[in-house]
Structure formats: structure tokens, C-alpha cells
Amino acid sequence: MNQQRLIQSIQQELTQNIDKKYLKVSRTFFKEETNSLGVQTPIVRKISAKYYRGVKNLDKKDIWGICEKLLKREGEFKMIAFDWAFKQRNAFTKNDFRVFENWYKKYVSNWGSCDNFCTHALGYLIYQFPELTAKTKKWSRSKNRWFRRASAVVLIYSLRKDNLLKEAFQISNTLLEDSDDLVQKGYGWMLKEAANIQETKIFKYVIENKKKMPRTALRYAIEKMPSKLKKEAMTI
């Protein structure tokens, strides 16, 4: 199946599964405009898996080319592109960072795409090549809110494996007083994930910084901690 026919087939199947009620509800999740069709995520994943079987044996460069075409379309196509990228994780090299960073810059414009990409394909790349954090740390000082959020969220995959805690603290220090609530939620979520394994260290960090840390970030960071620790953290 050629690329044009492939994308047309995906388009047809997505269109057949549009749920207008779901589309209306899903739009309330975002402050910014979205271009989603209104297909529920589990269905998108099934469609993604179905059509990936037809491309999985292609050269990775060719798959990246198809993903680029998908990324130029509606939100569900982006989900499929990021899913296919993650499915190629065993073939990742450090050079893929340039491809992924370019995709991020051009095609990520809401927290949904940010989190999907960063906790899967991009996050795995950082886990596989932790030296790339030297590049993602720079994102924490970007004027682009999505890059600042990504600088934290991209570490979550590694933190779930008990890696890169030092880098997580460095990112958190940079973003500590960020005024953007979506950035606050991003680094708060990062700390929460780290706390699942390193609760004592994260709690100590929160206590030391709670006077500066926005309430939004703090609540995210301590969300899964015991009530006693939560109470202490929330006390001014």
C-alpha cells in the first residue's frame, strides 16, 4: 500500500468512528484550540495497531516520513504518528533526537500531544540515551510553554525506572516559580512520579521549596503521598 492510500485508509476508518458527543466533551479539556476529529483514544489505538502491521518492516527512515505526513493532520493522526514512533523504539539512535525535537517544535501545541510524545517515544529515547538530557534541560528556559513542560515530562519514563532523579531536581529548580499553570502541572507531575519510588527525597525537596513552589505544582507533587505528609507539605 502506497503512502497516500495508507493515509486515506486511516482517514476513512477514523471518520467512521467519529463521536460528536466525545468531541464536545474532549474540547473542554483544553484551553487552546484543538483540531481533533472526535475519535475516542482506545479506538485510535486499535486503528494505529492495525495499520502499523503494514509498515513495521519498512526502513525506519521511511516510517519517519509517513509519521511526518500524519503529524500534519488532525489530532488523532498525531496520536498514531507518536504511537508508531514508540513502536520503533528498539531501533532508536541518538540521531533520532533531532527528528523528534523538530516534530515537537512543529506539531505539538497542547498538553495532550506533549504528554503523549514525551512519556512514550521521546521519553524512551531519553531513557535509552540519558546524555541527551543536556539538550532537554535547555528546554526549561524556552519561551515556548510546551518546551518548558516537556523538559519535565520527558523525564517521567526514566523516573519510573528510578533513573535521572538528579536531572529531575535540576529541571524542577529551573521551573520552580514558573507562572504558567500547565508548566507547573508538568513539573509537579514529574515530581509525583519520582515520589512513587523516592518518596523521602521528593518530600524533603517539597518541604525545602514549598514557600516558592506554586500551589498547583505542590499539590501535584504530593498527590500520592500519605495524608500526614500531605498535611505537613500544605501547611504554610
- What does the pLDDT look like over 37-49, one tens digit per residue? 899 999 999 999 9
Residue 180 region, left (φ>0) first, then alpha (ψ -120 to 50), else beta?
Answer: beta
Of 32-36, 38-42, 164-168, 189-193, minimum mean pLDDT range: 32-36
pLDDT of 28 > 80? The answer is no
The pLDDT tens digits for 76-123 are 999 999 999 999 999 999 999 999 999 999 999 999 999 999 999 999
The pLDDT tens digits for 135-151 are 999 999 999 999 999 99
pLDDT confidence bin for 27, thresholds 50/70/90: confident
Domains 1-91 and 104-236 share a fold: yes
Q: How far apart are CA 164 and CA 144, in angstroms?
A: 23
Q: How far apart are CA 151 and CA 147, in angstroms?
A: 6
pLDDT confidence bin for 23, thresholds 50/70/90: confident
Q: Residues 214, 183: contact at Cβ < 8 Å?
A: no
Give the residue from 38, 45, 42, 1 showing the smallest Cα distance to 16: 38
Query: What is the CB neighbour count within 10 angstroms for residue 95?
Result: 7
Average pLDDT of span 17-42:
81
pLDDT of 158 > 90? The answer is yes
C-alpha dihedral (188, 122, 97, 142), degrees to nearest 10: -30
Average pLDDT of span 168-183:
97
Q: How far apart are CA 116 and CA 68, in angstroms?
A: 16
pLDDT of 33 > 70? The answer is no
Domain 104-236, CATH class in plain words: mainly alpha
Average pLDDT of span 10-35:
83
pTM: 0.93
Question: 52: Cβ–Cβ under 8 A, 6 or more apart, which residues?
Answer: 83, 84, 87
pLDDT top residue among 70 and 26? 70
C-alpha cell at 81: 504518528
Q: What pLDDT sits at residue 87?
A: 98
pLDDT of 21 > 90? The answer is no
Domain ranges of the chain: 1-91, 104-236
Q: What is the CATH number of domain 1-91?
A: 1.25.10.90
The pLDDT tens digits for 194-215 are 999 999 999 999 999 999 999 9
pLDDT top residue among 53 and 33? 53
Q: Residues 193, 160: contact at Cβ < 8 Å?
A: yes
